[in-house]
Chains A and B, each alone.
Chain A
Amino acid sequence: MTPSSLGGRLLAEPIREFGRAGIFLVTAFARMRFGRLQLGEILRQVYFVGARSLVIIVICGFFVGLVLTLQTHDTLTRFGAGDAVSTVLALSLFRELAPVLTAILFAGRAGTSITAEIGLMKATEQLDALDLMAIDPMERIVQPRLLAGVLAVPALVMVFNVTALLGGVFFSVYLMGSDPIVFWSKMQASVELGKDFMGGLLKSAVFGFLVSWLAVYFGWSAKPTSEGVALATTQTVITSAIAVLLMDFVLTAFML
């Protein structure tokens, strides 16, 4: 398989890219000096990627909860297990849907804006300017965004969970007239804090890190032209989606 053959190109190029992304990440961490952690900058980034993503998360969360409950309610009542709706909703949300969907929505909304921002900074020589002022752009631009993602995504996932449950409650209790006490107590009995809930939280942190890493990397390595930045944002979304789903599989297998 030579680099110029089709197989070489299809396989070798992604592997090289992956390697570059890995080296980028290691460099970013190697240069992290804990005494100089730019807390203000991290919080700013948490605002931009986290707080600004709330609207879409809340809306999508509510509708996901609503639809999921709608779907399962029909099937479960047919088997006389209508009470299990809340359990099914909670388990699918906490373990899978909330972390994965939130991560992908985050990639689309915040990930692309990070990529575009860094790509544009590269194109307008702002990254060079930092270098020339003997300020490490990794420290000032990359690290805060990486850490902000790890903090923001779990918070977003929790909000997604809550709004989705509210969607479920809305459907079950207000539209279908189920007993809210049964709804909640069945859920409480069947959802384990450690295995189901914390597992989902762990996934959220991992996904947040993953998406932020990819978003920052593609922005950093974008060609400093308008096409380059556009391509980079596309790469962020696609690669994030694939990476999140892959990682989801790995983590789920590991946790079960």
Chain B
Amino acid sequence: MTSSHQIEFTAGLFLLLGIAALVFLALHATDGGALKDGGYRVVAEFSNVGGLKARANVSLGGVRVGSVESIDLDPETFSARVVMVIGDRFRTLPEDTSASILTSGILGDQYIGLEPGGAPDMLEDGDKILITQSALVLEQLISRFLFNSGGEQKK
């Protein structure tokens, strides 16, 4: 029969194993959330955010550089105000970087894709991205298509 010391030791090991599993999973199987390195905030306004949600990816050239923190409606301009958090590692984004709302794959989630400009100054915490491209809304696309083809048929 194992002595009580051995039992307590094994129990302690077991709990440590559980904690180790938890830490492993948190670091390697999730996005890390609040554990990730801090970042700086950048704002962009869109006329339509489509299906973009908070915590959506912000990517540049396919590489994830940050996430969407919040989406709000500007009560005066009636445009959507999106606040993004960009990782501290990516502090060299030019001021004239543009932001577009894109869809990953055909059925995928929507995310923000950044396209770097060429300005000498960099984006800082609190800056605003001026060049934006709103999400493509399927209905608008279809009606535009119909409108165009309808116009052609009139010829």
Contacts and interface: CB of A to CB of B under 8 A. Distances in A.
B26 A81 contact: no
B14 interface: yes
B20 to A, nearest CB: 8
A155 B19 contact: yes
B11 A43 contact: yes
Main secondary structure of the interface of A (DSSP, over half): helix
Contact of A191 (B14, B18, B30): B30
B30 A201 contact: no
Contact of B33 (A156, A187, A193): A193
A155 B13 CA distance: 11
Contact of B105 (A43, A50, A81, A191): A81
Interface in B1-33: 4, 7-8, 10-15, 17-19, 21-22, 24-26, 28-33
A196 B28 CA distance: 14
Nearest to A50: B14
Contacts of A46: 11, 14-15
Given A54-B14, A152-B14, A193 B32 contact: yes
B29 A191 contact: yes
Contacts of B19: 155, 158
B40 to A, nearest CB: 20
Given A47-B10, A54-B14, A152-B14, A194 B34 contact: yes
A23 B30 CA distance: 40
Q: Which interface residue of B7, B12, B14, B105 has the most chain A CB atoms within 10 A?
A: B14
Interface residues of A, number: 35
B30 to A, nearest CB: 4
B33 A192 contact: yes
A197 B34 CA distance: 12
B142 interface: no
A51 interface: yes
Given A158-B22, A188-B28, A193-B30, A50 B11 contact: yes
Interface of B: 4, 7-8, 10-15, 17-19, 21-22, 24-26, 28-35, 55, 57, 64, 105-107
26 contacts: A43-B7, A46-B11, A46-B15, A50-B15, A51-B11, A51-B14, A54-B17, A90-B30, A94-B30, A151-B15, A152-B15, A154-B22, A155-B17, A155-B19, A155-B22, A158-B19, A158-B22, A188-B28, A191-B30, A192-B31, A192-B33, A193-B30, A193-B31, A194-B33, A196-B30, A197-B26
Given A155-B19, A165-B29, A193-B30, 13 more contacts: A40-B4, A43-B12, A44-B7, A47-B14, A94-B25, A94-B29, A94-B30, A158-B22, A161-B21, A188-B30, A191-B29, A191-B30, A192-B31
Interface of A: 40, 43-44, 46-47, 50-51, 54, 79-81, 90, 94, 151-152, 154-156, 158-159, 161-162, 165, 184, 187-194, 196-197, 201
